[in-house]
Structure 1
């Protein structure tokens, strides 16, 4: 009889659940998932939860394979030498291989007052606090959303469609990823919803108070509820554990997602920095990375050589309330192109993505190994990106290209 292999997955989001499910392909692998919550958070629906237009919590029984042991706790430290994960409850779990999928959240805002008076929406608890704050505010109260990436745009549109008086503070460009044509479409939809969009120079936030937001150019906006969607951060578990990270704290790996420090630690999702060139934060990247991480572990168990990343991107989709949305297509280098589908069709495509994410996880739970999107050809674009990053690191002039 073959020896049993213990694999611990830290983090029960898109990447962690995909990895945990896929690892159950082998009967001689025992999988333990460590997650601080007893339910799966469908993060791309958190703006709906905050606005009261939908839910964002899914029972793990729907997306997690029966063979995965769920430990509801938080990882406090990784002891790589001892192959153990210390838990905040005081216990620990041992492993032969570890999948590091702790995800991401809002960065600690450096703007005065933002941490005290701003409401982040990157996790379940933040979205629930925002929902309570909105419920306590009059329907006519001014709401300010800071940050004009997908989360900021979706939150502003959702709240405005629900009847709130919303100002979206961009701090620069509305929807930086979008093609100018797609950006105009989003701006037109926000205008129809009554959202006041402040973009361009001077729209960075200088301070947040209990009832106002002050901009860099001196303008002061009344704001009974301020939603903070700007910035990106990851938990500092890897750094606290003495593992190599990038400047934001993402675990440094090679192209097989294996830690540069330890071949028994593999990363996936937003907390991974393969070759120091992390992928765009999205469930579009997280689930394929989770599958790739699981395949790396399974290859090592079998004594095979793991395959490197082969990660394409094709689009970014944004909901604009329940009635409209935009599906912005991109080339294989993940740069937006002119073609986009918007309006009601865009909303239907966005909803199809949201429901499809849960379906992919559920399918992998029931039939491990069935997910194959991480094998779709697309590696050539990443290899060009890596060559460019290597040239820049060596001091070569940075090639001109579209803004990202």
Structure 2
């Protein structure tokens, strides 16, 4: 392909940022990243935002290459035929290639048909939800009962964080505590939750059937007092792909091949939770996103060079969970993400989780520096722009990001 290549990355999470930085390192490629917030959200620290031990954000100037143009807006539709992205602010962006990296959020509590869940439950899987949960906790009394629904990694970390902060927490697990963990690894998790005073409900009858303003009803008839209810069961993805006429699975995830390119359009390549390779499914996670971002970038770079993209190779090491600030558990896995009986727990486990969080951020910062080294070093931050509705393709309002 001759001339400058325009790439639009939709979504500024782990997958989108890593893809943008890798693409920006190639001469002849201009990269624009579209994100609804002016800051990068460190999603793996959102449970800490709830208790105030971390703000869970970083300036895009730290994690995004200086040559990447940042547009703070929300993509509302992808016109694959016309290679344009429509924005909520009224503008449009044209592209030669698009990286679909819109990520995921908390599953809608109303979808499973649990009465009152959508109205009264909070969530912690995105920045806005975590902020609202923190406000609700700030206004509730220190002795107010808190119920966390779901015992996946988000539920476990949130329950432990709140309990360590002095909250009275009940964790409603459903069938089993920590379903993604090996049976042996559940033991130190259960022990730590007990030390923190968390009431764990699992097994028969531990399924939520209704949420009210001040209680949670279980299917065995129990009613749990709950001044604040936190819903952590499951994920959902934005409906941008389906709204744009692109094929998705039943959960709304963009269908891709293993390169990972949309099955509908080779100009659209995915990175992160919002897409799925049906023959090679992967766990929705930061660990997957930071691998899929570079893979998406490499696919585009190879197509630009007239080469055949290579299938992505996913490698998983395990899951690191913080159980409060002082202890944690690392669950190891085989490279195919199947868990095994190996783990690290206690203070060492907490240290491993903190190292994992810092390593992930440092990788983003390193990627930003490599991307910035291609061109002028005079700009210390990326360009932050907002397209004008009356001039859809002309950005304005340039300023530095923090």
Matches within 5 A, 1:4-403: 4-109=4-109, 110-275=113-278, 277-368=280-371
Return the alpha-carbon distance in structure 2 between the equivalents of residues 10 and 88 of structure 1. 13
Give the gaps of 5 or more residues in structure 1: 371-404
Residues 177 and 335 in structure 1, CA contact (< 8 A), matched pair in contact too: no
Which SS does the other structure have where 2:331 is aligned? Answer: strand
* Superposition deviation, residue 334 in structure 1: 1.3
Give the gaps of 5 or more residues in structure 2: 374-402
* Superposition deviation, residue 278 in structure 1: 3.0
Higher helix share: 1
Residues 314 and 336 in structure 2, CA contact (< 8 A), matched pair in contact too: no
Return the alpha-carbon distance in structure 2 between the equivalents of residues 96 and 135 of structure 1. 47
Which digits, 9 at most, give the CA deviation of each residue in 1:105-134, with x for residues without a partner? 112223111111000111111000000000
* Superposition deviation, residue 305 in structure 1: 1.1
- CA RMSD, Structure 1 to Structure 2 (Å): 1.3
Which SS does the other structure have where 1:70 is aligned? Answer: strand
Higher strand share: 2
Taking structure 2 as the reference length, the TM-score comes to 0.90
Which SS does the other structure have where 1:269 is aligned? Answer: coil
* Superposition deviation, residue 185 in structure 1: 0.7
Residues 256 and 308 in structure 1, CA contact (< 8 A), matched pair in contact too: yes
Residues 65 and 372 in structure 2, CA contact (< 8 A), matched pair in contact too: no
Number of residue pairs matched by the alignment? 370
Instruction: Tell me the residue number matched to 1:398.
Output: none
Taking structure 1 as the reference length, the TM-score comes to 0.90
Which digits, 9 at most, give the CA deviation of each residue in 1:133-152, with x for residues without a partner? 00001101100000100000
* Superposition deviation, residue 332 in structure 1: 2.3
* Superposition deviation, residue 310 in structure 1: 0.7
Return the alpha-carbon distance in structure 2 between the equivalents of residues 70 and 347 of structure 1. 34
Residues 107 and 232 in structure 2, CA contact (< 8 A), matched pair in contact too: no
Q: Where has structure 1 moved over 4 Å in runs of 4 or more? A: none
Which digits, 9 at most, give the CA deviation of each residue in 1:360-401, with x for residues without a partner? 01101111499xxxxxxxxxxxxxxxxxxxxxxxxxxxxxxx
Which SS does the other structure have where 1:263 is aligned? Answer: coil
Tell me: higher relative CO, structure 1 or 2? Use CA pairs within 8 A at least 6 residues apart: 2
Instruction: Tell me the residue number matched to 1:396.
Output: none
Which SS does the other structure have where 1:170 is aligned? Answer: strand
Residues 253 and 276 in structure 1, CA contact (< 8 A), matched pair in contact too: no
Residues 149 and 232 in structure 2, CA contact (< 8 A), matched pair in contact too: yes
